[in-house]
Amino acid sequence: MEILVYLTVFLLLGIVSILAVGLGENVDQAMAIAKEIKGKKKDMLKQKSSLGKRLSKLSRMRKNLVVQVQMSEHTYRLMTIACIIAGGAVGKLVFKSMAFVLLIGGLGAAVPLLYLSFKGTKTRSSRMEKLRSTMMILSGSYIVTEDLLKTVQDNLELLEYPKPFQDFLTYCNYIDGNIKVALRRLEAQVNNAYFSQWIDVLVMAQDDRQLKYVTMSVVDSMNDVAQAQMESDTAIYAVWREYFMVLALIFAAPLIFKILMPMAYEILVTSLVGQGLFVLLLAAVVFSLVRALKLNKPILM
């Protein structure tokens, strides 16, 4: 009987010891988990902050593009709504799940931004081409006349980018006759590195007329970059054309299945595996679109 009591006590002590050790381990694990949760919370806060910065950057980019292409906010909103509806219609046609309809409708909201990006790039390139032509005309005339005001007055009607130079003449004739000050004011109106170099040369040429020939050197450098821009645009547009062809094939594949192989289509759009593949596919489309948009930038800024 005593042996049984001792054995019971021994077992109880052993169980208590095991529980104590296990409790200690659980406490350590709980502390480790708590630290991990705190770390995850910090990471989440950083991610939220990063996400907020990206959304703010995207909003600023959108506003800048709307201004550059001279589109009203009302028109942009109408275009966005139309693209969302069109995206939802495509999603409804291809998929049966409402989640995919909403997802593709959401992707449709990015189409106006893509359009603005293309048009904005074209607008900037056109603006730089006009600026380059204007600088070339004025440089050639200034080398002959050595009088900047006379050069601008005589060629104003020929300039493809006349507005800043109209302001330049108005400022010199009616406000302040200091040409150097007027040139710096002109430089501030046109945000371009080559134009700033050109203005620097014109300012120095007011004291040393021999520097007038350097203005053509700046324009020649700009011509070289413009040629590189044309070649870059040709290559980028070819890439975009192929990209959109691939996108069309990607979204046409489910429709082909729907028409030619209805049973396979049902499995594809209703099974968890098929839906998972479509989610990965859409994620890849979004990722590739973001990466591709970074290529759509002019060399001449």
Looking at the chain, how many residues does it have? 301
Kindly indicate the confidence band of residue 199, based on its pLDDT and cuts at 50, 70 and 90: very high
Mean pLDDT of 74-86: 84
Q: What is the pTM of this model?
A: 0.63
Kindly indicate the confidence band of residue 21, based on its pLDDT and cuts at 50, 70 and 90: very low
Residue with the larger pLDDT of the pair 15 and 158:
158
Please say if the pLDDT value at position 52 is more than 60: yes
Range name among 49-58, 100-109, 258-267 with the lowest pLDDT average: 49-58
Residue with the larger pLDDT of the pair 236 and 164:
164
Please say if the pLDDT value at position 25 is more than 50: no
Give CA 276 to chain center in angstroms.
28
pLDDT for the residue 198: 92
Range name among 26-40, 72-86, 95-109, 128-142 with the lowest pLDDT average: 26-40
Average pLDDT for the chain:
75
Kindly indicate the confidence band of residue 43, based on its pLDDT and cuts at 50, 70 and 90: low
What letter represents residue 298's amino acid? P
Encode pLDDT of 82-112 as tens digits. 888 888 887 777 776 777 778 888 878 878 8
Range name among 98-102, 131-135, 160-164, 220-224 with the lowest pLDDT average: 98-102
Kindly indicate the confidence band of residue 136, based on its pLDDT and cuts at 50, 70 and 90: very high
* 262 DSSP 8-state letter: H
Please say if the pLDDT value at position 69 is more than 50: yes
pLDDT for the residue 200: 92
Please say if the pLDDT value at position 11 is more than 60: no
The helices-and-strands tally (H runs, E runs) of the chain is 11, 0
Element spanning 95, H or E: none
Burial label for 240, CB within 10 Å (0-12, 13-18, 19+), is middle
Interacting residues of 183 by C-beta distance below 8 A, sequence separation 6+: 148, 168, 199, 202, 203
How do the domains of the chain map onto residue ranges? 1-68, 70-109, 122-225
Whole-number Cα distances in Å, 183 to 29, 171, 279: 70, 10, 56
pLDDT for the residue 4: 38
What letter represents residue 264's amino acid? A
